[in-house]
Amino acid sequence: MSYTRRTKDDLAARVAQDIPEGSTVNLGIGQPTLVANHIPASREVLLHSENGILGMGPAPAKGMEDYDLINAGKQPVTLLAGGAFFHHADSFAMMRGGHLDICVLGAFQVSATGDLANWHTGEADAIPAVGGAMDLAIGAKQTWVMMDLLTKQGQSKVVQHCSYPLTGIGCVKRIYSDLATLECTPDGLRLIDAVDGLSHAELERLLGLPVQAPAR
């Protein structure tokens, strides 16, 4: 049977579907930023930005950019009524102190038990840069990863043990991918859902890892 990958927008919508009303969320740089576009206007969700913003709003209209008001990806944003500014130590206290409900991050690799590698390829000539990735990964109550399940070469990015340098140990709770949504547990992967037509056996073949049946 054939199956179709979730598009980037489908995937962002799938992540957004699981973000509950009233939660405080940090969306990582890159693909996770798209999730904001899929949170229904009727659902009140507070977005946190590591550079000192809670209650971040959408991008401003053209010409209305204010470069004192940017997100972690350095793009101009707006502030919702009720939003707040604070300094960096307070911003990271919100993460490390366990005050954020969810953070959504990209990844190079995730292990079946939730180890995360998303900051450095480990190549000798690569310039390392970590930003807030390590603080976010271990700080939020739940860390979700959003990524393609396979590399461009077809290798699984979900692995038994990460070969890239680690960002955090056992910190990823869920993997939202173009092919399936998975839960990372101390006992390995558990299926939450997969795209139509992708069998459990085929998913396990692609991953090269066992996947437990969905929790009832």
Near other proteins by CB under 8 A, which window of 30-38, 47-55, 140-148, 189-197?
47-55
Residue 206 — φ and ψ, nearest 5°? -60, -40
Tokens standing for residue 25: 């969320």
**CB closer to other proteins out of 41 and 129:** 129
Is the separation of the CB atoms in 182 and 107 below 8 Å?
no
Of these, 13, 18, 80, 85, which contacts other proteins (CB under 8 A)?
85
Q: Is 58 in the site for other proteins (CB under 8 A)?
A: no
Instruction: Choose which of 31, 139, 182, 194 interacts with other proteins (CB under 8 A).
Output: 139
Is 50 a known active-site residue? yes
- The reply to whether 89 sits near other proteins by the rule CB under 8 A is yes
Question: How many Cβ atoms are within 10 Å of 121's Cβ, its own excluded?
Answer: 12
For residues 62 and 216, which CB has a smaller minimum distance to other proteins in the complex? 62
- Give the residue, chosen from 127, 201, 213, 215, that forms a contact with other proteins under the rule CB under 8 A: 127
C-beta of residue 104 within 8 angstroms of C-beta of residue 177:
no
Give the containing element (helix H, strand E) for 47: strand 46-49
When asked if residue 112 is in the footprint of other proteins (CB under 8 A), the reply is no
Contact stretch for other proteins (CB under 8 A) within 11-19, 32-40, 65-73, 191-199: 65-73
CB-based contacts of 59, cutoff 8 Å, min separation 6:
75, 76, 77, 78
Find the binding residues for other proteins in span 163-202 (CB under 8 A). Answer: 165-169
166 in the Ramachandran plot: left (φ > 0), alpha (ψ -120 to 50) or beta? Answer: beta
Active site (catalytic) residues: 50
